[in-house]
Amino acid sequence: AFSIIIYIMKIYMSNIEQIKNIHDLEKNLSESELLRYKNFANKRRKLQYLLSHAIVKSVCGENIITDKSGVPTIKSGFVSIAHKDNWVAVALSDVPVGIDVENTDVERDFAKQSELLGLKITDNKKDFYKNFVEFEARFKYGKDSNDAKMYFYKNGKYLIGVCTKEKPENIQFMLSGAK
């Protein structure tokens, strides 16, 4: 007997240091994407934007459309994007999804940050990052996120949170540019 797994959601995580030819990626941006891309002053943020949009274009064959509230959308399904440091995470799915990624090596006043963000107050680093990633992923998921589940993945010092109604066995994680 064998089983077939159909991945309904794919999560791509890539490092901006893997970008070989910026010009080739820029050529794939739509007019509105290019305008937004050129308006970023921060070089890292610019590369994060470029890489996330290049991932979507290469996988789906379409450009991201940003709605009036700044939410990325695609015609063929659902997309959610997160970035931290040199990393970009893109979730592509047939069902709604929210994703976030955080560097868990960063020290902070966790109790104060929890309070400022309206999270459950904790001074525990692991709990803070789990709560923070969940908060961000649920926000990106949108309304009805309380009906969705949270799944957490580690990539070195990075914690990735995915908010979805999808079963975890239908989620495929793709990683490139690991250091």
Note the pLDDT of residue 176: 74
Q: Which residue from 140, 157, 11 is spatially nearest to 85, judged by alpha carbons? A: 157
Q: What is the SS3 assignment for 171?
A: strand
Q: What is the SS3 assignment for 70?
A: coil
Note the pLDDT of residue 35: 93
Q: Which residue from 165, 168, 99, 105 is spatially nearest to 134, judged by alpha carbons? A: 99
pLDDT, averaged in runs of 10, over the chain (179 residues):
70 93 93 94 96 94 89 93 97 95 95 93 95 96 91 94 90 71
Q: Is 61 left (phi over 0), alpha (psi -120 to 50) or beta?
A: left
Q: For the chain, what's the residue count?
A: 179
Percent above pLDDT 70 for the chain: 94
- CA end-to-end distance (rounded Å), the chain: 38
Note the pLDDT of residue 179: 43
List Cβ neighbours of 131 (8 Å cut-off, separation of 6 or more).
114, 119, 120, 122
